[in-house]
Chain A
């Protein structure tokens, strides 16, 4: 035998041995939750916090004795905000680690990728952050995909409600040129036209998702005749846009409502003085509102886990895991079909009140908090906050 053939044989042997070893440690009694959240890549900020929120819930759960008398174990893989990576990692979690449930995803593409694996492998997948309506539309819905997050309809249509209240008669939009932006735009235009039939959409600009210089879009809007701007420039890219737009006097000229979690606490702390005041932003959770016991318990649990003030994204990991935990409890087993059946129609007592997963399309009726960015009026807290926070429920607007 030649040396080269030996090399290949060695390599193949190595492959087999390593995979053999890796499959071996998958047997024990814990309930395994496979978590696919990016801790690197373009959406790591959201992913890291969702993972912390998830871990906080699991810690609390295990302290109370776990689920079905078994401990809950989290197996995390970094999905890198990349659907190809998410696909491979999801498969690994199911086939190698033997997880009972998949949770996670930040971008739409990650969610759709994980959902595809969930369908192939027959494992329940709960999306905690992804909002794309494509995930649960007729083409892509299957018995194992669920959403705990708000969807793009809820987010865009609640923005349209605010735009209507502000009395906008001519509107421009600046939405990112990918599915999140397109879905937002479609829902906003539709709902705004229903609310204010005489209002006009004057101009729509579509910067690419990875734009680093927004000036061509800013000047187009400045040259347009509109009262207000609806934006989908989400928190991950907003600092860039805000800085460039402020220098053009953009926020003095227009009223501005933006989707994309601009009201998240950590984001506002990072932006500080650079955050334009008076614009409308949203968040899935606001640490100083509402003042309920459920919310306070959540804040304490997060504080125990991370030792700092929670961000809105922490709540996504928490709520997603709460749905899964309650479903496993109700199902009395970790059989995927039993969990799936238990999730349909399930109502949980969440941090922002009761939330229900609809049987028809397997989405939670999660609403969203809106508010106007203002200087802090909370003692000892300097960063900007959302003022006049209001929870807009999803039931009427999520379709």
Chain B
């Protein structure tokens, strides 16, 4: 089947678009991991909540308004940013420096609370956001046709990667986050308010998950508990890419997407275990992930 050029190119695009959706979540997760050293179990729940907020805006408040989805995505990002700020300032910041299972369990508690909140507010029925009119249907790419909205999601992933890279490598804020990662005490001795750097990283990560959730919700459906599946795949992406590595997460997401797309065609019986086997294979040769660095601990 893969000898058919149309099908081959479609499969490659499937892989990339699957990967790019996960990348948007993984980017925030890996950023938080790298700087705060917090494994945020609630990142999948942030993604889900972003989807629900997006639905509320696009399908209820602005139903029928052109461009509602774009407003919904921004709103989802803002809501998650505010929520993350509250969580970080009131609770999470008191857990930095404690054993990692404290943070793990704290974020797990958030997963439970967010899931129940979603159930109370939006119920258990499945919800979906309509594709925006401008991106309905498929586009002819010459060699194959492909849904416009999925191409858009690929673009979103790439734009997020580039913007984050610019932010981390070219701005003062980025330099501070990298410094905070290396030596927190030194930075605060230099008079930098490390606490605010931490807060900003957590907020940025949550905001990305929120925006990603709203945009992805237009190509899938929303239901309470959807985060439980996605968080594990996001972890895998972050592990194989290397914890804290932005481009590692990008690479990991692409690998995961392509393995899912091609595995489904070539070895359908083993598709489910394939990503785990790939992860083990990578870790045998690079225990710290593809682009990760060994930590002295």
Binding site for B on A (CB under 8 A): 39-42, 44-45, 48, 177, 205-208, 210, 212-213, 215-217, 219-220, 222-223, 236-237, 239-240, 243-244, 247-249, 266, 270-271, 273-274
Distance of A384 from chain B, by nearest CB (Å): 14
Asked whether, in the complex, the Cβ of A41 is within 8 Å of the Cβ of B225, the reply is yes
Considering the complex, which residues of chain B in the window 236-293 have a beta carbon less than 8 Å from any beta carbon of chain A? 260-261, 264-265, 268, 271-272
A-B contact count (CB 8 A): 99
Asked whether, in the complex, the Cβ of B268 is within 8 Å of the Cβ of A247, the reply is no
Asked whether, in the complex, the Cβ of A216 is within 8 Å of the Cβ of B220, the reply is no
Task: Jot down 20 A-B pairs with beta carbons below 8 A, ordered by A.
Answer: A39-B124, A40-B124, A45-B125, A205-B268, A206-B268, A213-B220, A215-B18, A216-B18, A216-B260, A219-B7, A219-B10, A220-B264, A222-B10, A247-B136, A247-B137, A247-B150, A248-B145, A249-B137, A273-B130, A274-B130
Asked whether, in the complex, the Cβ of A239 is within 8 Å of the Cβ of B14, the reply is no
Chain B residues in 8 Å Cβ range of A45: 124-126
Chain B residues in 8 Å Cβ range of A236: 126, 223
Chain B residues in 8 Å Cβ range of A248: 138, 145, 147
Q: Which residue of B lies closest to A223 (CB)?
A: B7
Q: Is B40 an interface residue (CB 8 A)?
A: no
Binding site for A on B (CB under 8 A): 1, 4, 6-7, 10-11, 14, 17-18, 21, 119, 124-128, 130-131, 136-138, 145, 147-150, 219-221, 223-226, 229-230, 260-261, 264-265, 268, 271-272
Distance of A131 from chain B, by nearest CB (Å): 20
Q: Which residue of B lies closest to A39 (CB)?
A: B124
In Å, the complex CA distance between A45 and B265 comes to: 32
Chain B residues in 8 Å Cβ range of A247: 131, 136-138, 147-150, 219
- Between B7, B145, B220, B224, the greatest number of chain A beta carbons within 10 A of the residue's beta carbon is seen for B220
Asked whether, in the complex, the Cβ of A215 is within 8 Å of the Cβ of B138, the reply is no
In Å, the complex CA distance between A39 and B10 comes to: 39
Known: A213-B260, A219-B10. 16 other contacts (CB 8 A): A42-B225, A213-B17, A213-B21, A216-B18, A216-B260, A220-B7, A222-B10, A223-B10, A236-B223, A240-B128, A243-B220, A244-B219, A247-B131, A247-B136, A270-B125, A271-B128
Chain A residues in 8 Å Cβ range of B268: 205-206
Given contacts A206-B268, A219-B10, contact A243 B229 (CB under 8 A): no
Q: Which residue of A lies closest to B4 (CB)?
A: A223
Chain B residues in 8 Å Cβ range of A205: 264, 268
Distance of A284 from chain B, by nearest CB (Å): 18
Chain A residues in 8 Å Cβ range of B130: 273-274
Chain A residues in 8 Å Cβ range of B126: 45, 236, 239, 270
Chain A residues in 8 Å Cβ range of B7: 219-220, 222-223
Asked whether, in the complex, the Cβ of A220 is within 8 Å of the Cβ of B261, the reply is no
5 interchain residue pairs of minimum CB distance: A247-B147, A216-B264, A44-B124, A239-B221, A215-B14
Asked whether, in the complex, the Cβ of B265 is within 8 Å of the Cβ of A220, the reply is yes
Q: Which residue of A lies closest to B2 (CB)?
A: A223
Given contacts A216-B260, A216-B264, A239-B128, contact A244 B147 (CB under 8 A): yes
Q: Which residue of B lies closest to A44 (CB)?
A: B124
